[in-house]
A and B are shown apart, each in its own frame.
Chain A
């Protein structure tokens, strides 16, 4: 038994680069989830659809002969539109955020099918110049996903750090922190929510575009359960790095680390022989427990909270 486990664990290092690469790509998606879930305080389920939209748009544009960067730009624009759709459902039409996301997600299933014309579209790594592919995960080249995606993430985090420090970005953070106060300070909270949803889903679609290149195909089901993976990454990142990473950029980095850890753990669990069909169940339960921790803490482990004395 023990020998068995050790034996299967011995194969883990070999599978590690692939797991880390996937973690990096999904890390971008998890940053998108962080923006809605933590910054805007909205659980946005659009992502289950917009991930696939990003992948579908990217692959189809490339098959049509587009340059890979142009295809990725197309994916980002498509992502912005999915966020806009949820945003309009939520603000202009007054639909609760979760339901608005579900509605968009469902409609994206049809849209993604229409974009691809069928349930999945493959792209040949030899015929098209992809940005990343799982084939190159062990190669010493710029297009090695471990290198390429890491560089992209650094650029993205730098951009987001700048953006959330601007007047507009500060207003967006304030909208999530306290909408009443934001309106009293002249912030258009509806507009900011839509903007946040757009930025978030653009990141998710971008991640989907990378993922479809990495795996060599886009699939209508590729985003199923994405929100859970995104939340898992956010929560793992916060649980492990929350105390040391205070700065906003570092918090985003923590989310990426959370995503990598998630995929490495999943890899190990699979190598240990867990039925891969049970993975989503396992992920959902882990996320459920982690989401419950703050609640349990406040409810059952209320350690004598010191009442702050009024500063004179």
Chain B
């Protein structure tokens, strides 16, 4: 359903800071795949997601979603097909707007925004139920400004926003990395629930090997802008952190530390 073909991206070309972030990467996802992506700092994990979402422009290559070439679509048009949660809890929500307003914005992702009401009372009822299902007590604070929420609450809300209108592809960019371990677990659980409930095709970037192994049906490891490991099926199910470490002799302290 998603097909990345020969993606190339170089940052700061022609300067001393030139960095080839993505180096001829190709990847095909099947419908319903839940893929975890791991790799060291600068491996290009987040860049791949940003290229797919259109947040940064591609140097060359093509991106097809459901057979449709979206390479030349601007970010806001690709949003129609994509749900996104970012690493920074500040990034996925509008802090000065209310919780219900943020949800209403998300509910209109991909639709034309005209002069109809920005939020209706039926929507409010629905949002209240869905917020209640997060189990964070947000359903009683529908009109509170999102800026008042904690990082974990904001990430849970962003996740709900990303999936409120079922996306063709869910992009999770280290969405629990900025949270404390307990909250991170909670948000991950929630992610798993939503992804399996709606059988969403998902790409999840993580630094944490355990998470990468625990979740999803396919694991991809990146290094220097390329895919170096691609494990799926039974092999993925049986995978352990030790396997991964031994097999591929990973020398990245951050990944080891977060084991």
Interface residues in chain A, defined as those with a beta carbon under 8 Å from any beta carbon in chain B: 163, 165-171, 173-174, 177-178, 180-189, 308-311
Contacts and interface: CB of A to CB of B under 8 A. Distances in A.
Given A177-B95, A185-B105, A186-B79, A165 B118 contact: yes
Contacts of A180: 55, 86, 91
Question: By DSSP majority rule, is chain B's interface helix, strand, loop, or mixed?
Answer: loop
A184 to B, nearest CB: 5
B116 interface: yes
Contact of A174 (B77, B86, B97, B183): B97
Given A166-B114, A188-B76, 12 more contacts: A167-B117, A170-B119, A173-B94, A174-B97, A178-B91, A181-B94, A183-B55, A183-B79, A186-B76, A186-B109, A189-B76, A311-B150
B91 A171 contact: no
Given A177-B96, A184-B92, A185-B79, A167 B108 contact: yes
B180 interface: yes
A173 B117 CA distance: 14
B233 to A, nearest CB: 32
Interface in B74-111: 74-77, 79-80, 82, 84, 86, 90-97, 101, 104-106, 108-111
B109 A170 contact: no
B113 interface: yes
Interface of B: 53, 55, 74-77, 79-80, 82, 84, 86, 90-97, 101, 104-106, 108-111, 113-119, 136-137, 150-153, 161, 180, 182-183
A187 B79 CA distance: 8
Contacts of A174: 94, 97, 105
A185 B108 CA distance: 8
A167 B114 contact: yes
A307 B151 CA distance: 12
Contacts of B55: 180, 183
Contacts of A166: 113-118
A163 B116 CA distance: 9
B118 A170 contact: yes
Contacts of A188: 74, 76
A255 B108 CA distance: 31
A184 B84 contact: yes
